[in-house]
Amino acid sequence: MLKRYTSLKRAAASVGFHCWLVLCFFFFFSPPFSTDVNLTEFSEPGIFNYSTLLLNEDKDVLYVGAREAIFELSMKNVSVKKNKVIWKVPDTHITMCIQKGKSKETDCLNYIRVLQVFDDNTLYVCGTHAFQPVCDYLVNSFKLEEKQEDGRGKCSFDPEQSFTAVMVDGELYSGTAYNFLGSEPIISRYSPSQSLLRTEYSTSWLNEPSFVYADVIRESKNSADGEDDKIYYFFTEVSVEYEFFGKLLIPRIARVCKGDLGGQRTLQKKWTTFLKAKLVCSMPELNFVFNVVHDVFILKNEDWKETVIYAVFTSQWGNVGLSAVCAYNISSVEEVFSKGKYMQKATVEQSHTKWVRYNGIIPSPRPGACINNNNRIQNINSSLHMPDKTLQFIKDHPLLEDPVLPVGNGPRLITKDVNYTQIAVERVQALDDNVYDVIFTGTDKGVLHKSVIYGSEVHIIEEIQLLRYSEPIKTLLLSSQGRFLYVASDTGVVQSPIAFCEKYATCEECILARDPYCAWHLDAEACVSIIQDPVAARCLVQSLDGDAEKCPRGKERLPKFAVCPPGPSDLHIHWQVNGQELEGAVQEYRQGLTPRGVFVSSWVRQGGLAKNSQYQCTAASRVGSETSKIVVILGNRDEDSTRTSDFSQWRSALTDHEKLLKSWEKAWVGLSTLHGPTISKH
């Protein structure tokens, strides 16, 4: 914010060529800052299992799906409830549920598990509804339309069972179980206008999966070859490809194409684009494999090719007590899906089957690929036109042999004695102008870890007990504008700031935390968050390598090497003559007044002056911009003859100027000592 601005015109004070001294100066001043640290909580007596969260940042609200209730909370303060709707199961359903052997107190209730944006005014919601899933529309007035749509394939029957769903362009993609027993896994798409598209019921497609996450990547955007958007699914399933004593779990990444309509004869109403691969997170040097994926966060980018997928893992053998975070480039994912080798089931000995690499001829178009311009040229405009050969192949070969490998070939973060359950990642621009990925991980004990990646090294910034009780964090959500973190558990919802800079009392503590959100404010002598006021011009010390030497010592308030970004130090002035940029022939003088203020003057030298011209100077800074217009009319006197006297006049003007500055400086010293800090001279 621009707080104060002054401009002084020394030009055209008198006629003739006195006006070659065109001066222009600006004063920028920083705003105050504010901090707030406390956690805000929400829960209602008698209501449990707050497991589904949905943010609407335009409306400033957080929707919460719990057991038999949906809430609308203020995003800025979740303890402020705006709306609530109760959604219970009718008694007849409960009776049926109990008759089927389920518990009245826990199973035969309605757990809200789908909460998605249907359109601007409507949410699509589904609940387990006493083991008989039902979906409905929640309209603006926060009332259910009571349409009671069949929720099979969209929502799980069992509230304990793993589940994922995402709404993409009005169609709901979910991963769940299709039957009461929970034995028929399904990845499906529900669209109001088409029939349900789903996976084949076969262990080579899905084998006892635990669904973790699903989301869309908009690969059609700016695509030269007419590619389709893709929906990626993440889950852990029982491996078919490894011989193992007992069940060996394998983390998977699978995908389908948005434009898939199923096959005409083969794979009717089934995915023709379902492909899956192993998601590797291991420490090759120790031969240690993290084989259970618990949550995924997709760090999206304007350019989808820059997308990074983050995932948290533990090992199937929980007693090892290790959790890991691995990151995957979308380009590596894309490479595997578009070029990877397929696996196939081969019968060895009598009835024993084994999965091996498929080395035969692969039909064309490539099985499982989305429709693109190449296919369209061949008159294949949709999956309905795909040749039977391709469809038959993908039906039998949904598994790829090539795995998706993590960035750096290993985990970004490994932590001992914790079980991570959730992950969220934010890319932050620090004061050094570099971007860093900050990783938030939630544990099964209600604890939050915040870590940041510095090159090849990872640093855990802090560990905070977010939940009141030691219980798993079920959902972790990051807002983009509000700068909050939302956490949901069985007992409630907690809102937390994403940084707790103010808890660091000294500059050393602030620096040693190496938190890219925090910096030491020299003037206020406090550790502050750099994102609460992103364009503020403040004199801040941040050193992400944890070099506390950068802190001022003793009475010294402003060390010589303090950087003051994004403060007024970035201020620069540029000139235009009759609307044209003036380059060269410009001089500048700058003086730091207080850590927060800078005085800059700029003038055009003689060579840069032209007759009857309009000069305009603009001061630009990340703090703001100001423009000053000066009209200069050059007289007709012979310049050469008067140059010497001009120079002396110029000098005296500058001397006046210097005097003025000195008095200002004194005034500022006086003023700023009222607030504490002393003036610095660089």
Chain contacts with ligand NAG (rule: CB under 6 A): 36-38, 40, 48-49, 77, 79-80, 111, 159-160, 318, 321, 329, 331-332, 379, 381, 385, 407, 417-419, 444, 490-491
392 sits in the region (left: phi over 0; alpha: psi -120 to 50; else beta) called alpha
Beta bridge partners of 508: none
- Could you give the CA distance from residue 200 to residue 269 in angstroms, rounded to a whole number? 9
- Could you give the CA distance from residue 307 to residue 253 in angstroms, rounded to a whole number? 15
CB 309 within 8 A of CB 332: no
CB nearer to ligand NAG: pick between 332 and 532: 332
Q: Which long-range contacts (CB under 8 A, 24 or more apart) does 143-148 make?
A: 143/85, 144/85, 144/87
Picking from 78, 108, 105, 86, the residue whose alpha carbon sits closest to that of residue 96 is 108
CB nearer to ligand NAG: pick between 163 and 173: 163
Q: 387: burial class by Cβ within 10 Å (0-12, 13-18, 19+)? A: middle
- Could you give the CA distance from residue 428 to residue 462 in angstroms, rounded to a whole number? 16
Least Å distance, CB 331 to ligand NAG, is: 6
| Residue found under tokens 């000995």 | 349
- Could you give the CA distance from residue 518 to residue 25 in angstroms, rounded to a whole number? 32
Q: What ranges make up the beta strands (E) of 525-645?
A: 526-529, 540-541, 572-577, 580-582, 586-594, 597-604, 613-621, 624-632
| Torsion sign across C-alpha atoms 519, 523, 526, 531 | negative
The Cβ of residue 655 has, within 10 Å, a number of other Cβ atoms equal to: 10
CB nearer to ligand NAG: pick between 180 and 201: 180
Least Å distance, CB 126 to ligand NAG, is: 15
CB nearer to ligand NAG: pick between 491 and 649: 491
Least Å distance, CB 419 to ligand NAG, is: 4
Q: What type of residue is 422?
A: Q
CB nearer to ligand NAG: pick between 329 and 576: 329
Least Å distance, CB 52 to ligand NAG, is: 11
Rounded alpha-carbon distances, angstroms, from residue 299 to 85, 130, 308, 425:
33, 36, 5, 7
Least Å distance, CB 376 to ligand NAG, is: 6
CB nearer to ligand NAG: pick between 327 and 522: 327
- Could you give the CA distance from residue 233 to residue 253 in angstroms, rounded to a whole number? 6
CB nearer to ligand NAG: pick between 175 and 492: 492
CB nearer to ligand NAG: pick between 159 and 251: 159
Least Å distance, CB 33 to ligand NAG, is: 16
Least Å distance, CB 491 to ligand NAG, is: 6
CB nearer to ligand NAG: pick between 111 and 517: 111
Rounded alpha-carbon distances, angstroms, from residue 471 to 287, 464, 486, 519:
31, 14, 15, 33
Least Å distance, CB 34 to ligand NAG, is: 11
| Residue found under tokens 């700031």 | 497
Least Å distance, CB 330 to ligand NAG, is: 9
CB nearer to ligand NAG: pick between 20 and 50: 50
Least Å distance, CB 12 to ligand NAG, is: 54
Least Å distance, CB 444 to ligand NAG, is: 6
CB nearer to ligand NAG: pick between 466 and 564: 466
- Could you give the CA distance from residue 525 to residue 521 in angstroms, rounded to a whole number? 5
- Could you give the CA distance from residue 556 to residue 253 in angstroms, rounded to a whole number? 55
